[in-house]
């Protein structure tokens, strides 16, 4: 543990202590801090190849419940978003089917509600190459 880190409000009277809890102070109340990650594109058959993508999956460790969404992205087009909610402390394995053909795929994960620690353990994208870039 090092020192303390504080923010002073430029337009307000409050001094805020950083790096604590799972919510952050807003001008009116508080809001949860949400993880938002997106992978780089996966191009298993090269930049102009053809693949059939099967699903994206995420593995998270949570200490006290979570809601999150997982969105497959194929050729930069968002696919059907899947929402998940679990309670308690556990490892969550969630997947979203894709079944789209394309050259590249990515996954986007956004937590939408949390009351404890969240650790992103893994994101996986699966599919099969049909035609490789010449």
Partner 1 sequence: MGPFTKGVIEGANRELSLEGALRFARNVRFDGIGRLKARNGDEVAMTLKVTGGSSNVTSVVEVIQFADFALAVGHSTVTDEVYLYRFTAAMTGWYNAAGALQSNLNAEPVGVLWTACTTAPAVSIAEGLNEAYIAHNGSLNATALSFPLKKYTMPGTIATVTADFGAGVVNVYALGAVSYNQHLWIWGFDKTAVAGTAYRPEKLRHSAPYFDTIVAAGSGSFDIGHRVRSAREGIQCGIVAGEVLYIGGAFGLWAIVGEGRDSFQKKPLSSVVGIAGLKAACEANGVLYGWSYRGPFRVSGFSMPEELHVGIPDTVAAIANPQRVIAAYDEDRDQVCYFYDSSGVRKKFASYDITRDVWLGPDSAIGVGIACANRITPVTSSAVALDPPTGPPTAASTSSIGSTTAVANWANGDVSAGTSTTVEYRIQGATAWSSAGTAGTAATSFTITGLSNNTAYEWRAAHLKNGQLSAYLGPVAGSQFTTAESGTGTGDPMSPPTGLVAYDYTYYIGAGAVYMSWTNSGETDASTQIVRAGPSGAAPADGDYSAIVTKTPDLNGHVDFVPSTGTWWYKVRHVRGVDSSAYTAAVSVPMVV
Which of 91, 95, 100, 101 touches partner 1 by CB under 8 A?
Answer: 95
Least Å from the CB of residue 124 to partner 1: 5
Q: Are 104 and 127 in contact (CB under 8 A)?
A: no
**Residue 84 found at the interface with partner 1 (CB under 8 A):** yes
Q: How many residues bind partner 1 (CB under 8 A)?
A: 81
Provide the minimum distance between the beta carbon of 7 and partner 1 in the complex, in angstroms, as a whole number.
Answer: 5
Element of type H or E holding 95: strand 90-102
3-state secondary structure 114-131: ECCCEEEEEEEEEEEEEE
State which H helix or E strand residue 103 sits in.
none
The answer to whether residue 6 forms part of the interface with partner 1 (CB under 8 A) is yes
Q: Taking a C-beta distance cutoff of 8 angstroms, is the pair 45, 133 a contact?
A: yes
> Is 91 a residue that touches partner 1 (CB under 8 A)?
no
Site membership for partner 1, residue 77 (CB under 8 A): no
Q: Using CB under 8 A, which of 49, 50, 101, 110 touches partner 1?
A: 110
């Amino acid at each position: 543990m090092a020192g303390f880190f504080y923010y002073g409000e430029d337009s307000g009277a409050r001094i805020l202590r950083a790096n604590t809890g799972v919510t952050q102070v807003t001008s009116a109340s508080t809001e949860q801090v949400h993880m938002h990650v997106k992978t780089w594109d996966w191009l298993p058959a090269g930049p102009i190849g053809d693949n059939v993508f099967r699903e994206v999956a995420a593995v998270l460790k949570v200490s006290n419940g979570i809601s999150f969404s997982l969105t497959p992205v194929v050729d930069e087009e968002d696919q059907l978003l899947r929402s998940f909610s679990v309670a308690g402390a556990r490892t969550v394995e969630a997947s979203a089917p894709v079944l789209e053909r394309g050259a590249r795929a990515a996954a986007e994960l956004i937590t939408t509600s949390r009351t404890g620690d969240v650790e992103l353990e893994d994101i996986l994208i699966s599919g099969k190459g049909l035609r490789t870039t010449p």
